[in-house]
Amino acid sequence: MEEENNPIKEVGAKTVEENANPTKGTVVAKKINTSALISLIFSLVGLVIAGIPCGLVAIITGIVGITKFNAETEKGKWMAIVGIIIGIVDVVLVITGIVLRMIALSAM
């Protein structure tokens, strides 16, 4: 009881019990999900350079990133989701472009 009314105690200082329990009161920095980051990067590169190969890599690594995602230790699940969506758009745009070119060439 005396500790609660102690004017010398610093604001926000932890008691011995709080320091003994690492899950209580500690902030752990979360790391970025590597597969999700790779998925996002490849999907954006696929929009500019190589749609099908980069799009496929983005889709695969995005799926791996979502399945291996651990919310307690990692952040960046949104990158995997966006990477998958943009990867699909990459592949669809390239295939649509190829089909339209083939139709245009056959009409000549």
Structural domain contains residue 46: yes
In a domain, 95, yes or no: yes
- Residue 5 belongs to some domain of the structure: no
Residue 63 is part of which domain span?
30-107
Do the domain assignments include residue 81? yes
Rounded Cα gap, residues 79 and 108, in angstroms: 43
pLDDT attached to residue 9: 56
Domain count, the chain: 1
User: For residue 34, how many other CB atoms are within 10 A of its CB?
Assistant: 14
> Does 88 reside within a domain?
yes
Q: Does the residue 54 lie in any domain?
A: yes
Is 15 part of any domain?
no
pLDDT of residue 8: 58
pTM for the full model? Answer: 0.67
Return the structure tokens found at 33. Answer: 């999900």
Residue 99 lies in a domain: yes
Residues in the chain where the model's pLDDT stays below 70 = 1-27
Q: What's the pLDDT score for residue 12?
A: 55
User: Residue 18's pLDDT is what?
Assistant: 47
